[in-house]
Amino acid sequence: MKSFILIAWNLAISLVISLPLFSMASMPIERQSKHLSIGKIDVKPQQIIPFTFEQKISGLALVTKNINSWDSTYLIVHDDTLRLTRDEHDPNNNASNFIVFDRPIQNLVLSVGKLTGEITLILTHIDSTPNPVKLSSERRKSNCALPPIILQENWRNGLPAPQYTRSFSTVNHIIVHHSAGSNQASNYQDVVRNIYIYHTEGRGWSDIGYNYLIAPDGSIFAGRDPEEGLQDEVKGAHFCGKNSNTMGICLLGTFTDISPTPAAITALEQLISWKTTKDHLQPYEEFPHEGLALGVIAGHRDGCSTQCPGNQLYNKINTLKTTVYNQQLACQQDPEEPKEPVNDLLFFPNPVKNGTIFVSNTVEDVLLINAFGNKLFVPTIETKEHLELQVDHLVAGWYVLYIQDTSGINQYKVIII
């Protein structure tokens, strides 16, 4: 990689004589604000163009009028080669992914690849945060308690707050994304700040698109600002225009070829375990959504034409469902989490004998779930004294019985068949 970088850099320098050295002063400026600039240039395929900017930039995305392949389009910044790919959240398919640099830079080299014609450079200008907010390492009170969150008032300090009327919806689907940005960044608060400016000023959105963002060190950032509403129910902009009843979680980085860090996966598990427990969602369940049968936990690609959240992260979603399901069960046994007492007289026996579960006829609703989170069809016989659930057709193992009594209280119990 080092030799490749040096060859590319030497080639770029040798081309300075024949290619113009662009700067912010020489590029036509379409719009400029305190935190964002937009410039336009004409390019030809296979050009390698060095840039020197008058004002340091902290992030960059390209937009092309001609929808071309992004093969061989990349940036050289210091010792890093950063590949530009199609923005998987762009409905027009003509924008690159948004790259946030590890620190503001003044020089870079662009390898144009197959791009041709006019391209637009969207540039962010965010000063590095000298002292990023650090989360407390205090242990959560429960496996399913809300993990520590870095709030907007902390990471957005010094940036303009969003001004718009919020929308909210009940969440049936938790959508997992990756940011498709650099895996080299280390100041994750700066990455979130740049994404916010890119979404609001560069893309013209009301706010940052996701409900939550997760950094490689496991830090969780509150994303779209709910104002007076709930963070997990504010309607975002992350699921190709089908955002109602969804909650978006974005892991910072690109996970096409490499896996997220264990810390990021743990934070994702904790956040989803909290949300699904809070809203009584089953990880393996599906609900209709815009003509799809969409899972409670799903990847961006499950509902949109995209490769997001990258193969390496997407391949972990089934394991994620199992982990969340197991954490939900652990929460039922967690002595530190207050919950309604379970009345063992509502159902018996446990373990089950002779293939029948007897349930008090005072219950309002009964549901049986297997270890994979699937709802099961169970024949039921109703008598004056109780309901008889016929489970003799089920394989031996443990199951979860969900009971809602006439007072509306949900009770859960692990049973052995």
Mean pLDDT, the chain, as a whole number? 84
Q: Measure Cα distances from 112 to 50, 196, 262, 276, 303 in Å.
A: 11, 26, 35, 45, 31
Check residues 410 and 19 and name the one with the higher pLDDT.
Answer: 410
Instruction: State the Cα–Cα distance between residues 208 and 7, nearest whole angstrom.
Output: 38
Give residue 23's pLDDT.
Answer: 43
Class of CATH domain 152-332: alpha beta
What are the b/e assignments for 173-210, b being 16+ CB within 10 Å? bbbbbbbbbbbebebbbbbbbbbbbbbbbbbebbbbbb
- Whether pLDDT at 128 is above 60: yes
Give residue 4's pLDDT.
Answer: 43
Instruction: State the Cα–Cα distance between residues 370 and 25, nearest whole angstrom.
Output: 65
pLDDT confidence band for 3 (50 / 70 / 90): very low
For residues 197-204, average pLDDT: 94
- Whether pLDDT at 237 is above 50: yes
pLDDT confidence band for 54 (50 / 70 / 90): confident
Give residue 29's pLDDT.
Answer: 64
Prior bond of 260 cis (ω within 30°): no
Q: Which of 117-121, 205-209, 392-396 has the lowest mean pLDDT?
A: 392-396
- Delimit the domains of the chain by residue range: 2-124, 152-332, 344-416
Instruction: State the Cα–Cα distance between residues 163 and 415, nearest whole angstrom.
Output: 50
- Whether pLDDT at 403 is above 60: yes
CA torsion angle 272 268 150 148 (round to 10): 70
Contacts of 131 (CB under 8 A, 6+ apart): none
Give residue 378's pLDDT.
Answer: 80
Hey, which residues does 329 pair with through a beta bridge? none
Give residue 346's pLDDT.
Answer: 64
Give residue 2's pLDDT.
Answer: 43
Share of the chain above pLDDT 90, in %: 53
Angle (deg, nearest 10), helices 317-332 and 262-278: 50
Contact 274, 174 (CB under 8 A): no
Instruction: State the Cα–Cα distance between residues 69 and 96, nearest whole angstrom.
Output: 10
User: Is 227 exposed, middle or buried (CB count within 10 Å of its CB: 0-12, 13-18, 19+)?
Assistant: middle
Place of tokens 């762009």: 90
Give residue 338's pLDDT.
Answer: 41
pLDDT confidence band for 385 (50 / 70 / 90): confident
User: Which segment, 127-141, 158-172, 320-334, is predicted with the most confidence on average?
Assistant: 158-172
Q: Which two tokens stand for residue 158?
A: 């010094």
Give residue 158's pLDDT.
Answer: 92
Give residue 28's pLDDT.
Answer: 66
For residues 268-282, average pLDDT: 93
Is it true that 2-124 and 152-332 share their CATH fold? no
Assess if CATH 2.60.40 describes domain 344-416.
yes
* Among 198, 267, 271, CA closest to 237: 198
331-339 CB contacts, 8 Å cutoff, 24+ apart: 331/142, 331/143, 331/144, 331/273, 331/277, 332/412, 332/413, 332/414, 334/142, 334/143, 334/144, 336/141, 336/142, 337/141, 337/142, 337/144, 337/145
Using DSSP's 3-state secondary structure scheme, residue 137 falls into: coil
Hey, which residues does 57 pair with through a beta bridge? 105
Architecture of the domain whose range is 2-124: Sandwich (2.60)
Q: Which of 176-180, 261-265, 285-289, 333-337 has the lowest mean pLDDT?
A: 333-337
User: Is 104 exposed, middle or buried (CB count within 10 Å of its CB: 0-12, 13-18, 19+)?
Assistant: middle
Q: Which of 4-8, 64-68, 106-110, 195-199 has the lowest mean pLDDT?
A: 4-8
pLDDT in tens, 148-195: 999 999 999 999 999 999 999 999 999 999 999 999 889 999 999 999
Instruction: State the Cα–Cα distance between residues 347 and 369, nearest whole angstrom.
Output: 15
pLDDT confidence band for 396 (50 / 70 / 90): confident
Give residue 135's pLDDT.
Answer: 67
Q: How many CA atoms lie within 13 A of 25 on its CB side?
A: 3
Give residue 414's pLDDT.
Answer: 75
pLDDT confidence band for 375 (50 / 70 / 90): confident
